[in-house]
Amino acid sequence: MESAVIIDHDVVVIGAGLAGMRAALEAARNGAQVAVVSKVHPVRSHSGAAQGGINAAIAAGDSWETHAFDTIKGSDYLADQDAVEIMCREAPGDIIELEHMGVIFYRNEDGKLGTRAFGGASKARTYFVGDITGQALLYALYDQLLKAGCKVYEEWFVTSLWMVDGACRGAVALDMIKGDLALLRAKAVIVASGGMGRVYEPSTNALICTGDGIALAYRAGAPVMDMEMVQYHPTTLKGSGFLMTEAARGEGAYLLNNKGERFMLTYAPTMKELASRDVVSRAETQEIAAGRGVDLCVLLDLRHLGADVVLKKLPQIHEMALDFLNIDMLKDPVPVRPGMHYIMGGVKTDAGARTPVPGLYAAGECACVSVHGGNRLGANSLLDTLVFGRHGGRNAAADVKKVTAMPSDSAGEQLLAAEQRRVQSLCDRPVTGESHAKLRLQLGTLMDEKVGVYRDEAGLRDALAQINDLQKRFETVAVRDRSRVFNQALTFALELGFMLDCAEATVISAIDRTESRGAHYRTDYPQRNDAQWLKHIEVTRRDGAASAISYLPVTITKWQPQERKY
Amino acid sequence: MQWTVVVGRYSPPGDPQPKGEMGPAFREPYQNAPRKTYQTFKVDLPDHAMVLDALIHIREYEDESLAVRCACRSAICGSCAMWVNGHARLVCTSKLREHTKDGKVVVEAPPSMPIVKDLVCDMTPFWRKNMSVKPWLQNKQPVPQGEEYRVPNAAMENLIQEVSCISCGACLMDCESFAVNQNFLGPAALAKAYRYTADPRDADTDVRLREYSESNGVWDCTHCYECVQVCPKGVAPLDQILKLRKLAVDAGFTDNAGTRHADAFAESVRDSGRLNELTLSPKSLGLFNIPAQLQTLPAAFNLLRAGKLPPLIHPKIPNVERIKNIFKKIGERFK
Amino acid sequence: MRVAFWPGCVSKGACPELYVSTQKVAEALGLELLELYEAPCCGAGVLSEQNTALMDSLNGLTLAMAERVGADLMTICSTCQGVLSNHNYHLKNDPLRLSAANKVLADSGYEYKGTTTVKHLLWILVEDIGLDKIRPLIKHKLTGLKIAPFYGCYILRPEEYLGLKERPERSTYLEQLIELVGGEAVEYHGKTKCCGFPMVTMNRDKALAMGGNHILEAKEKGADLLVTPCPLCHLNLDAQQPDAGRVLKRTIDTPIFHLPQLLGLAFGYSAEELRLNHHVVSTTRALEKVELKV
């Protein structure tokens, strides 16, 4: 690298999924000079894999309060109710805005937006496009981003955030096509890099979901919160872990055990198959453990829905079952099992997407406001990305107007040189070193076994010990590719580092929370304990010392915690 | 099960070069594609495994320098389109079992696109073409305040075929017209053009149709169904292009060879029941388009010399009235 | 075996050699051709995109005529095969389109009941007659001749209209016949790609480049000739070959045979009988290779 490349922007958004693109659009609309950085082309972002729909209380007879209550109950009362109120109040406006952007939502006979039922929702309020809602939204946002002429650095991999005097002033990124590092100097950085599904194996998540942004913010000193709240999706395809949308159950699909019984009638008599995801995942795990599973799975049955419904409203999952398991859903039930799907936790922000670190914002799955608390309702994630992406964009654009001093070019050059040395030393490790793939698989397997649907102290402590061991071994992971151009061995190694940080924060939090709430179920502490645990667990990294644990009370506005039954 | 996967490797100059025998040069229309080094790998994977599983296995355990774009593994993100045995496909949904021919599967970056490294091609031509059709809603005014446009569900369902597009690029990679004409907009961009043209909420229908009727637009498609064949999501880009053609003609954008061709064809069938090849070409080109007419003279002369020139007096089929009446009834533009 | 024979427009116009050689081959095979003299042009896809209902009716008429004859409808043109299969598929599966077409046909005294099967001669040879029945008819093996199959698009795509999902082997019939007559099938990338004909009036140079490229590729792989089941491909590959050569600045000079001409030669018909002396690109060299004269 000859001369340091420093590029200036007002706002840099890391991640080009729904949250990232919505933030960028809003920042641009509010007069900021914005750039989006993404390690993949925007339309490859994992937002595109969301299938079922997006929630909003628009229909007559529905209300944002009901939506909020469903969300809060779904969260097992860990969600911050002021933030939930904002999300649910603003949801209708965001849906309409999406429609005006051109999303081809499903319509009723009167030409108005139509809904489908979804998990944990007392009223049907999920707006959708077939079973490709995430994809439809992603493209609508991308098309708008193109229209706005926003700058996108695609296939640029962010290696670290730039912290100057406790504030975030940009990010260093590797241009994967050229192989050079560049410094994106900015007055505000919005992290919108999605979740960390690959920390678990199997997972519904794409291979790119490695918790990059969560770890970047964590390393920059921002606290991460509720990291123990890991959502397992009840219907992931046997073997591959691919997502079989909740919309299938929304359209009326059944879950059966090996006796052909709809076991959810026992576990959740009212909501049945549409109880919240943690409830259904636990029910399935119990059925399988009790010997009532089929090949360590349960069966998702769509036969009674008929070709018209399946082929029109759920074509993608029908195709996937055929492709990956050679099963035609119209003729046979599909084996599914709980698989890691979503992280409710993430980088702590307020309801304006601001982290406690000046200049640093976060939105989407990588953030924790918290609106999902201990368990996220289906179709609330797409909503989360848009509402808080928008807030982040608007606030970042406003805040940058107040930033007067920026670090100098020479400071930037020093940073780049240091980062270059760090990356080079990673590449220069002996080729006989550890394999990133082997460590990744070990990490994923141990997380699924010990930090999955059911947890206990011994298992969690063992997990932490193994993670620490993996972190030591990570220090010798070799990068067995000496290319400049498109060096994936390098980026995979960097990703593994991010994943280990996320895993560590998750396990630390899981050990600490000695109760069961939402997706976090401790067999040694099977009850919910509001007296002691109606609070969030924050983990903050400290240089040269163990991470610090702190607590934040849950903000309660209208809804006092109750027993959660479905 | 043991599978044999032959991978086309390429490294840009300056980077470590792949070891092995360099393959043959690509011939027209792919003459600009650099030669690749083909390496053979043997992998042990279950019977139902996909080609992508093999590539990931190679990348993780055999050769970490293999560059492959992939993310979702399930035909949603569109990252992993490439040539499998010479045809563009998503490798995440290509079964090793189905694509093993003569004992092996051959994967490589498509020679129709510029290449970055190994199996990673440069998708810039694809993104540029998409961008050039202005793929965003130009809102019809007035935009309803605080509520949605009222449109029938059928109008939305009409667009869902194109909205299923995951921009994998397979259609462009294997588009024959693009192969000989780099400026052709291509199947994906034109399908997206249809998506916005046919959206009842878009205000720019006529502007769009005029643009797409011009050169390198809808009439430069060779109607070969290759894009329909290779598309993993059933977008059927050709079908969208054909719908776009009809919209353009109906909207009056008819001053082009494509429309004249259809009109001349129809006229011939209406009047005689059969195609009159003799007059088809001159009429399509525009009878006053002297340069174009002159261009076709050598071919006409060759036909004459070979005794293949169609009869000057074009015969009508018996009972041609039957055909004329059908045209009269539902011929619309071709009445 | 008898078939309702739809020769298409081109075999009665610019490619009479196709019509003549088809008759000869049918005679040798004992295939009775009941020609549909009053059937209309299929529209070649050009008209279907502008007026689907019109082409449902016109093609419905052809299909109904075959139905009346009481036999499969045989085509000798990939384009006719593709278009008729497309419309037939929709008429058979979409009751609204069928009833709309029949309403129009009522005036003509025809009603299509949806029972016709459309089959190209290529398929009939392999599926209905069978290679074993054809083999004994071969009097003159074309040993040593390297023949590149050129399918063209409409006999292969889209798969669902052409029965290729059920019978994927249909994409190998040309090679099978080439081998049956003693030739060596040349494998090359362009064999399933487009010849450019549909675009030749819209963008002449590019259309000719397409076809020219494919012939050159086959030639470089050693082909003495190409064989095609589509007369529209034949026009672009043979009649336009000199111009294609000019566009590509290459000498192509590779003859293009129609499928029945290849068979006809093997059956012992003379090159003149098959009108192989009436091509734009001379077939002499290829014929000499197998000791035939034209």
Q: Which band of pLDDT confidence, cut at 50, 70 and 90, is reported for residue C294?
A: low
CA angle A376, A464, A372 (to 5 degrees): 10
Q: Do B12 and A146 lie within an 8 Å CB cutoff?
A: no
Handedness of CA A378, A22, A367, A488 (dihedral sign): positive
- Asked if C54 and C100 touch (Cβ cutoff 8 Å), the reply is no
Average pLDDT across chain A, whole number: 95
Q: Are residues C41 and C145 in the same domain?
A: no
CA diameter of chain A: 70
Residue C131 covered by a domain: no
**pLDDT higher than threshold 60 for residue A2:** no
* CB proximity A107 to B under 8 Å: yes
> Does residue A520 carry a catalytic annotation?
no
More confident residue, B305 or A195: A195
CATH number for the domain that contains residue C221: 3.40.50.11810
Q: Are residues C199 and C264 in the same domain?
A: yes
- Which one has a higher pLDDT value, C57 or B281? C57
pLDDT recorded at residue A198: 97
Please give the pLDDT value at position A3.
66
Range of the domain at C69: 2-121
Taking 70 as the threshold, does the pLDDT of residue C110 lie above it?
yes
CA dihedral sign of residues B197, B198, B199, B203: positive
Residues C167 and C240 in one domain: yes
Give yes or no: residues C153 and C106 share one domain.
no
Three-state SS annotation for A414-427: HHHHHHHHHHHHHH
Distance between CA atoms of B219 and A254, rounded to whole angstroms? 49
Residue C127 domain flag: no
Residues in chain B closer than 8 A to C170 (CB atoms): none
- From the list A116, A125, A185, A249, the catalytic residue is A249
pLDDT greater than 50 at residue C232 = yes
Q: Does the structure's ipTM exceed the value 0.90?
A: yes
Work out the average pLDDT over A394-415: 95
Judged by a CB distance cut-off of 8 A, whether residue B65 touches chain A is yes
Q: Which domains does chain B have, with CATH numbers?
A: 2-121 (3.10.20.30), 124-250 (1.10.1060.10), 257-334 (no CATH)
Of A398-402, C3-7, C287-291, the poorest mean pLDDT is in: C287-291
Stronger pLDDT, A320 or C230, i.e. the higher one: C230
pLDDT above 70 for A230: yes
Stretches where chain B sits below pLDDT 70 are none
In chain B, residues with a C-beta closer than 8 Å to the C-beta of C242 are 298-299, 302
Tokens representing residue B224 in the block? 């070969």
pLDDT, tens digit, for every residue of A467-518? Answer: 999 999 999 999 999 999 999 999 999 999 999 999 999 999 999 999 999 9
Q: Are C67 and C107 within one domain?
A: yes
CA distance linking residue C199 with residue A171, whole number of Å: 50
Q: How many domains does chain C have?
A: 2
B268 near B276, Cβ under 8 Å? yes
- Assign residue C64 the CATH number of its domain: 1.20.1050.140
Using a CB–CB cutoff of 8 Å, tell me whether A546 touches chain B.
no
Please say whether the beta carbons of A135 and A316 come within 8 A. Answer: no
User: How far away is chain A from the Cα of B30, in angstroms, using its nearest Cα?
Assistant: 23
pLDDT in the model for residue C198: 94
CA closest to B98 among chain A residues:
A323
User: Do C29 and C167 reside in the same domain of the chain?
Assistant: no
Mutation pick from B96, B99, B148 vs chain A, by most beta carbons of A within 10 Å, is B148
Q: C152: nearest CA in chain B?
A: B224
Q: Is residue C132 part of a domain?
A: no
For the segment A142-151, the average pLDDT, to the nearest whole number, is: 94
How high is the pLDDT of residue A250?
A: 86
Domains defined for chain A, CATH in brackets: 238-337 (3.90.700.10), 412-526 (1.20.58.100)
Per residue in A456-466, pLDDT tens? 999 999 999 99
> Could you tell me if residue C111 is inside a domain?
yes
pTM: 0.95
Same domain, C74 and C142: no
**Chain B residues whose beta carbon lies within 8 Å of the beta carbon of residue A208:** 71
- The whole-number average pLDDT for the span C235-258 is 96
Residues of B in contact with C58 (CB under 8 A): 269, 323, 326
Are residue C237 and residue C183 in the same domain, yes or no? yes
- Residue C161, pLDDT > 80, answer yes
- AA identity, residue A326: N
Q: Please report the pLDDT score of residue B80 as a whole number.
A: 98
Kindly state the percentage of chain C with pLDDT values over 70. Answer: 100
Question: What's the confidence (pLDDT) of residue A118?
Answer: 76
Interface of A with B in 191-250 (CB under 8 A): 206-208, 240, 242
- Measured between CB atoms, which of B181, B273, B333 is closest to C206? B181
Residue C128 forms part of a structural domain: no
| Residue predicted with more confidence, A119 or A252 | A252
| Subunit contact B166:A479, Cβ cutoff 8 A | no
CB-based contact (8 Å) between B132 and chain C? no
Q: Do C92 and C18 lie in a common domain?
A: yes
| C154, C202, C235 ranked by CB distance to B257: nearest | C202
List the structure tokens of A554: 């849950």
Band (A116; pLDDT cuts 50, 70, 90):
confident
- Assigned domain for C157 exists: yes
Q: What is the DSSP letter of B26?
A: P
Domain co-membership, C199 together with C70: no
The verdict on residue C160 lying in a domain is yes
Other Cβ atoms less than 10 A from the Cβ of B35: the count is 13
**What helix, strand, coil percent values describe chain A, rounded to 5?**
40, 20, 40
Contacting subunits of C (3+ beta carbon pairs below 8 A): B
Q: Are C146 and C220 in the same domain? A: yes
Mean pLDDT computed over A28-39:
97
Contact B276 C13 (CB under 8 A): yes
Same domain, C92 and C19: yes
Average pLDDT over residues A163-190: 97
Domain end call among C90, C121, C152: C121
Q: Is A249 a catalytic residue?
A: yes
**CB within 8 Å: B330 and C53:** yes
**By the 8 A CB rule, do A37 and A408 touch?**
no
With CB atoms and an 8 Å threshold, state whether B59 touches A488. yes
For residue C254, tell me if it sits in a domain: yes
Query: A323–B75: do the CB atoms touch at under 8 Å?
Result: yes
Residue C58 is given by DSSP the state H
Residue of C nearest to B299 (CA): C240
Position A1 confidence tier, pLDDT thresholds 50, 70, 90: very low
User: Edge-to-edge, what's the strand order for the sheet holding A54-55?
Assistant: A54-55, A126-127, A115-116
Interface test with A, best of B77, B141, B149 (most A CBs within 10 A): B77
Please give the distance of CA A115 from its chain centroid, rounded to a whole number.
Answer: 24
B-chain residues within 8 Å CB-CB of A45? Answer: 77
Interface test with B, best of C10, C17, C38, C41 (most B CBs within 10 A): C41
Q: Classify burial at A160, counting beta carbons within 10 Å of its beta carbon; exposed 0-12, middle 13-18, buried 19 or more.
A: buried
DSSP string, B117-168: ETTEE--HHHHHHHHHT--S--BPSSPPTTS-----HHHHHHHHHHHT----
The reply to whether omega before A370 is within 30° of 0 (cis) is: yes
User: For residue C7, which of C29, C53, C38 has the smallest C-alpha distance?
Assistant: C38
Over residues B88-132, the pLDDT tens digits come to: 999 999 999 999 999 999 999 999 999 999 999 999 999 999 999
Instruction: Tell me which residues of chain B, numbers 156 to 215, contact chain C at a CB-CB cutoff of 8 Å.
Output: 176-177, 179-181, 215
